């Protein structure tokens, strides 16, 4: 056994390279890369070659740090490689899960740092749903699903290919701090501060068992409760358990969920358990579930790692005093011989065993055969790829990619090859008066590069690490390793990225039983039937020369209901003699209602309050969840995209008009309003043809529409001003608020709101840098403008908590900079006149359903601690108290 502590693996937030905690660690399936997540808000990828080989570490040709990823705005608490090795998932204090994919054409110096990226891993998807820190995440063994848990006490299940949300489980009564998948595929286990481990059935997501006894006396002070499922599926090792006054790791058996066995020996709380992915068999014994044994590593707050076999009463090894603070995460390499750990002291370790020390270690094929003995067949088939070697892990891809398709999402980007004649009619390839769907690849997006990550051969053990990472981007797809399933998977990803295919997904969720019209039919693969036949007359107006993408006619258009398990499905006939239908089911299978429509459906949306379908003929049909017809509107142009939230329906039409409908009260709260001018090239652009595209649209429950463009910028409609207000822009990417304060803000509640999500989306597309050198008062000017923008945006988006947060931060900023005049204006706006006459149109006394003066009080309490504003703030608080006393006397 050899223990290594590379001092060059570091996460730091300052120029002095002071170490900050490393919260999570994960080794790539091929063993060549190590991912770490730290308090510096970064994910880093390191080469394992210089970690495991001291001679290779001394060779300058061997790169140590391969990539630094800084898209999170809070500490990174979990990093997990998918088993096929293509994707890396990271969960953060900013409440977001990011999916990372490699960009072979990238690399270079990291912005604002001296670090250099040998490889470039880019954020492929942002998984938004949690409203607090994401503490742990885990991929299912076949990578068909990803589970994430966090301090919002919720469990989210995501599709492992499309990354759409499949399920939200809200049953724990405390923070959820650990998650692990049953390798058989039947169950998911989660561990929480409510002192339980809960087992969930992956077919219907019902709770199978709640295990309480070993955790009744467990402390809640640990940062994590990372648990692990044995590779043979026989039992779970759960951290943070107690046996009387003794700290233990509980063993939960699969048969009956008994928890009478435990690993005893640590002197403080156990935070993490991690099973070796390989099984062990004694020589001469038949390889079966009965004879298989497992190895598990435990990390605790006593700074110690212990390694156990489930067939022995004592640990195989105990590594003491290796860290100066708590163990936070452990992971095994797929070879079963190397264990990695990380600590709150900001260091990592690698514990490497020789093959002769583990003579009973089996191969990965043995694990697969043992799992087959369970004969588990999921109701919703998710095929598992048999992994035979590290090369299989690196070249593999989710085999379910061909069968499991993503939720329909309108594709962005400018429609190609459309012509506009003098009368304003759009013409295309489907006829003189039609709009033709463009062929694959016509949206102007480059196809996804496909990396093939090759593990280093023994002959390369001390050569440059760059030689160990090769890519096969120039090879024909048929020549690439990984088999036909991998090739098809990469083609599917290319298609999804390019936007040339629209998919529906087969939801796995169950819901409360309703009256049913029968089972929904199987739809088979989603196909494109034809291009829409649409004519826009010159009088349809509003476009200003800009046209939004028009969805093509698909055989099936299907999306999940917002915040519920229902699914709305539109089936379009393949020919004019067929019947087009729109139906709603409670669980994707039992139809609750069905409607037959004369025109094919382009897009659908469903919330907890209504369903809507947009047809090729420009009709928008709105239904209640029970199937009542609420509206049937004929618009001048067909819909490009629909969005919904609670009772609000947003319709974006091809001619660049947006309208918002209140389905509950049956009225339009935003008349057709053009967004054409939002797509004009920015004034800073030297290319007048560089028009923007609509990246996404959404509507808030208060009816405020939001449009995110590729400029990048985000706009919300301000009804008071009668125009679109910018709520996020690339300009603010160089604001000091994005650098100096984002770590502090991440824990204060601003990280999980809608404004934070929009800002992160816009910031991801920003490439600007602050001027060098900065002009006089640059930081002050940008900070002031950025604070004011955030306050206006939070009011428009009806985000109360974000508004209160940024009001406090702005008040603090004004006090620090002694900006008396701006502070007076802000407080006067919130306090209003000394005597408010009811109905006075000059001042509205309430905001977010409560008195504005309460917000003024919060701002003044922040300002009064600064000497420059102290006396004035105290005077204003006194006036505010007298005003409120007078009002109380008269009411």
Assigned token pair, 808 = 């406090």
Same domain, 522 and 642: yes
Q: Please name the residues in contact with 472: beta carbons below 8 A apart, sequence gap of 6 or more.
A: 450, 451, 452, 479, 480, 481
Domain assignment of residue 609, yes or no: yes
**Is 884 part of any domain?**
yes
Q: What is the three-class DSSP state of 73? A: coil
Q: For 431-446, what is the HEC assignment?
A: ECCCCCCCCCCCCCCC
CATH for 549: 2.40.128.630
| CA 626 to the chain's CA centroid | 31
Are 656 and 542 in the same domain? Answer: yes
Cis peptide bond prior to 773, omega within 30° of 0: yes
Which range marks the domain in which residue 870 is found?
Answer: 728-890
Closest CA to 170 of 156, 184, 154: 154
657 and 744 part of one domain:
no
123's tokens:
């954020």
If asked whether residues 618 and 754 sit together in one domain, one would say no
753 and 657, same structural domain? no
753 lies in the same domain as 661: no
CA distance 527 to 195: 48
**Boundary of a domain, candidates 642, 659, 679:** 679
752 Cβ contact partners less than 8 Å away, ≥ 6 residues apart: 94, 95, 130, 131, 132, 152
- Sign of torsion, CA 567 549 551 673? positive
Residue 742 is predicted with a pLDDT of 46
What integer pLDDT is reported at residue 481 of this predicted model? 35
Residues 618 and 748 reside in one and the same domain: no
| Residues 580 and 664 reside in one and the same domain | yes
Distance CA 732, CA 789 (A): 10
Q: What pLDDT shows up at residue 885? A: 80
pTM: 0.50
pLDDT of residue 845: 84
Total count of domains within the chain: 2
Q: How many CA atoms lie within 13 A of 575 on its CB side?
A: 1
173 φ/ψ angles, rounded to the nearest 5 degrees: -100, 10
Q: How far is CA 65 from the centre of its chain?
A: 25
One domain for residues 666 and 765: no
CA quadruple 254, 260, 266, 268: dihedral sign: positive
Query: Cα separation of 640 and 474, whole Å?
Result: 36
Residue 437, in any domain of the structure: yes
**Residues in the chain where the model's pLDDT stays below 70:** 104-115, 379-525, 535-545, 563, 587-589, 682-690, 738-752, 767-772, 834-842, 890-891
Triad 846, 852, 858: Cα angle to 5°: 155
Burial (Cβ within 10 Å: 0-12, 13-18, ≥19) of residue 70? middle
Measured from the Cβ of residue 216, the count of other Cβ atoms closer than 10 Å reads: 10
Spell out where 268-337 has E strands: 270-275, 295-300, 305-309, 317-319, 327-332
669 with 733, same domain: the answer is no
**Residue of 420, 449, 624, 654 whose CA lies nearest to 538:** 420
Q: Is residue 122 part of a domain?
A: no
- The answer on 656 and 572 residing in a single domain is yes
pLDDT score for 807: 94
604 within domain boundaries: yes
732 and 664 part of one domain: no
- Answer whether residue 82 is part of any domain: no
Is the preceding peptide bond at 712 cis, omega within 30 degrees of 0? yes
What integer pLDDT is reported at residue 670 of this predicted model?
94
């Amino acid at each position: 056994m050899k223990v290594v502590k590379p001092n060059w693996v570091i996460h730091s937030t300052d120029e002095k390279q002071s170490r900050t905690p490393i919260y999570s660690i994960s080794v790539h399936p091929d063993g060549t890369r190590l991912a770490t997540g730290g308090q510096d808000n970064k994910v880093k990828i390191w080469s394992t070659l210089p970690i495991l080989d001291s001679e290779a570490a001394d060779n300058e040709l061997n790169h140590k740090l391969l990539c630094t990823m800084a898209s999170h705005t809070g500490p990174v608490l979990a990093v997990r490689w998918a088993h096929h090795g293509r994707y890396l998932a990271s969960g953060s204090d900013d409440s977001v899960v990011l999916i990372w994919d490699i960009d072979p054409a990238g690399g270079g110096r990291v912005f604002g740092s001296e670090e250099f990226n040998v490889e470039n891993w880019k954020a492929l998807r942002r998984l938004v749903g949690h409203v607090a820190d994401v503490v742990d995440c885990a991929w299912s063994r076949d990578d068909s699903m990803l589970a994430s848990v966090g301090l919002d006490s919720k469990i989210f299940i995501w599709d492992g290919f499309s990354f759409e949300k499949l399920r939200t489980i809200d049953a724990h009564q405390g923070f959820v701090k650990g998650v692990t998948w049953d390798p058989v595929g039947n169950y998911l286990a989660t561990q929480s501060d409510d002192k339980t481990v809960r087992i969930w059935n992956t077919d219907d997501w019902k709770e199978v068992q709640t295990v309480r006894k070993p955790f009744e006396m467990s402390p809640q002070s640990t940062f994590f409760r990372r648990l692990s499922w044995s590779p043979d599926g026989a039992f779970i090792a759960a951290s943070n358990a107690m046996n009387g006054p003794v700290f233990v790791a509980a063993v939960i058996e699969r048969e009956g969920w008994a928890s009478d066995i435990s690993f005893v020996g640590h002197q403080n709380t156990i935070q993490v358990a991690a099973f070796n992915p390989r099984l062990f068999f004694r020589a001469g014994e038949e390889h079966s579930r009965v004879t298989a044994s497992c190895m598990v590593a435990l990390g605790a707050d006593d700074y110690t790692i212990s390694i156990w076999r489930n067939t022995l009463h004592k640990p195989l090894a105990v590594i003491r005093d290796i860290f100066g603070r708590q163990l936070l995460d452990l992971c095994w390499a797929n070879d079963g011989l190397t264990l990695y750990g990380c600590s709150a002291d900001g260091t990592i370790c690698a514990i490497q065993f020789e093959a002769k020390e583990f003579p009973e270690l089996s191969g990965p094929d043995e694990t697969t055969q043992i799992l087959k003995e369970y004969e588990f067949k999921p109701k919703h088939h998710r095929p598992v790829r048999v992994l035979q070697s590290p090369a299989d892990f690196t070249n593999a891809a989710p085999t379910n990619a061909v069968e499991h398709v993503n939720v329909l999402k309108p594709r962005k980007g400018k429609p190609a090859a459309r012509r506009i004649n003098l009368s304003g009619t759009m013409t295309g390839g489907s006829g003189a008066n039609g709009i033709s769907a463009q062929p694959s690849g016509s949206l102007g997006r480059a196809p996804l590069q496909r990396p093939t990550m090759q593990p280093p051969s023994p002959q390369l053990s001390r050569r440059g690490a760059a030689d160990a990472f090769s890519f096969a981007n120039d090879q024909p797809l048929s020549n690439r390793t990984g088999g036909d399933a991998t090739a098809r998977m990469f083609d599917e990803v290319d298609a999804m990225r390019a936007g040339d295919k629209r998919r529906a997904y087969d939801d796995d969720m169950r819901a409360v039983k309703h009256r049913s019209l029968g089972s929904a039919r199987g739809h088979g693969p989603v196909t494109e039937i034809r291009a829409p036949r649409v004519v826009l007359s010159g009088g349809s107006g509003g476009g200003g020369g800009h046209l939004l993408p028009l969805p093509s006619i698909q055989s099936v258009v299907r999306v999940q209901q917002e915040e519920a398990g229902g699914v709305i499905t539109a089936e379009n006939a393949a020919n004019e003699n067929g019947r087009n239908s729109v139906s709603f089911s409670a669980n994707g299978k039992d139809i609750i209602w069905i409607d037959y429509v004369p025109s094919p459906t382009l897009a659908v949306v469903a919330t907890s309050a209504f369903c809507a379908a947009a047809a090729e003929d420009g009709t928008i049909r709105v239904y209640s969840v029970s199937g009542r017809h609420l509206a049937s509107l004929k618009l001048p142009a067909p819909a490009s995209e629909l969005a919904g939230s609670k009772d609000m329906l947003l319709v974006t039409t091809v001619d660049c008009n947006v309208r918002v409908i209140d389905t509950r009260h049956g009225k339009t709260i935003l008349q057709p309003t053009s967004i054409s001018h939002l797509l004009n090239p920015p004034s800073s652009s030297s290319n007048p043809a560089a028009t923007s595209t609509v990246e996404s649209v959404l509507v808030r429950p208060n009816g405020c529409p939001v449009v995110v463009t590729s400029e990048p910028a985000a706009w919300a409609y301000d009804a008071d001003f009668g125009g679109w207000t910018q709520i996020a822009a690339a300009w603010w990417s160089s604001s000091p608020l994005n650098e100096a304060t984002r770590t502090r803000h991440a824990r204060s509640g601003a990280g999980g709101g809608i404004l934070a999500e929009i800002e992160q989306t816009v910031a991801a597309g920003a490439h600007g840098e602050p001027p060098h050198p900065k002009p006089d008062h640059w930081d002050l000017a940008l900070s002031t403008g950025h604070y004011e923008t955030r306050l206006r945006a939070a009011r428009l988006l009806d985000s109360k908590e974000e508004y209160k947060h940024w009001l406090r931060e702005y008040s603090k900023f004004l006090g620090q900079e002694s900006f008396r005049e701006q502070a007076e204006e802000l407080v006067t706006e919130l306090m209003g006149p000394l005597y408010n006459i009811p109905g006075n149109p000059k001042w509205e006394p309430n905001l977010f359903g409560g008195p504005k003066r309460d917000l003024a009080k919060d701002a003044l309490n922040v300002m009064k601690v600064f000497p420059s504003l102290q006396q004035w703030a105290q005077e204003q608080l006194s006036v505010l108290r007298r005003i409120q006393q007078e009002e109380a006397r008269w009411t």
